[in-house]
Structure 1
């Protein structure tokens, strides 16, 4: 029983961070229709931006997070304005290739400035452990779950209650109708990329603290694809469910079966979902009539 509780805590922590990373992917896809293959590198850049502010510049924790948010927002807006906006109207394959190129560029820039060795960073989440139903659970994993839950709740409230969130949902549903209502679609596109970069920043900070600030953060970001395929490419609730499911499946596979197989299981789930339900659990089914 104690081993089960431990694996559950690790799986929920990883799943919560995955949900944050996948949220940015879904935001971009819903608002702009772009499949962003650079989302994992957004996590990587976010983690290193926080590392720069917190460790290299020695800023206080809260200020370092704020600096990271500002930089992430600027990166998201610049990517949309300078790279993706000129591609509007181009073939979807061309846009996908641009995001793949952006992925390689961001990773190369991180390696150029920081090298490839893991960076040492003081702990920001509380260390130690707590007893939960007879199991010893790392406290930083529980706090990571709590932080991710608060951020995901804040994003959900933003989409449902705020003026800009409602405008984003309107653009996602029908761009032409949103334009007739006076909503600036281009501004919403930029906001989507900025929010995606911020969600990736938070996920990168949490992942860097509970594991390490290194190049593997980008590899973790690849798990975004099984998450969004499982939950639905255009569903925010599906992102949360998909993240938790993939995190738990991977952790239980590693804990009870084979750690090597755990790296493959999410992609097995991806293929099965594509075969059985291509639009995901919560995705919107689209039928095109010709």
Structure 2
């Protein structure tokens, strides 16, 4: 099955492999109610994830810390932008821990808005969230999906010293497109963060990254990115289809055929990645616990 090329300015019609049912029922409603009660943000809602219904129905969510507005304005992302966001909420770690306990989560993914306005980029807040979860649910696995902390290795060291089970930082796209799409985030800086995370973790936990496809990259550029990630020490990988949140975001160039995701997964495994999730609807934190548990 070939990729579906989207003409510039054309309205992109979803191909059959991206049409999903809407999960309803008690689980989704209960998860929504709990998040509202505890005043917690999720990347599921903020980034308009297509898997929200499924994950909320399973009483799972990826928590978004440090507020609901980002100091960067990447062209692929639906999270709101603010030059001067509100200060971090000191009570947020305890509320997240309470949600983890009440949802009975055995694996928790914590991500963040980018906070270039904070001296440590929010690294200390990450640590407080990790500690609160471990106090409430000691057996829970914890994955952190962080910003690049502007390349601040002290901030990176702070987070890794808390020993998350998995450290994740997304490369997002290929090098040629990175500057236009990711703004202040740089491809080479992200590789440096991943490389240093691998060194600082020193085998205590795997390093993970992910990228989107369909933004105008070539297949050869995806292959080059896989080589770069593996050379940086990444062992867990996600690849998913980019879906523009709105007409004002970066335009869609193609819908990648499911067979190509399988080819990239096989290539990544040949390169030495331990585990790979690659499919149109894969997102960085989608079924993250299952990926991390892959032998």
| Same fold by TM-score greater than 0.5 | no
Larger relative contact order, structure 1 or 2 (CA cutoff 8 Å, min sep 6): 1
Decide which structure has greater strand share: 2
TM-score scaled by structure 2? 0.27
TM-score scaled by structure 1? 0.28
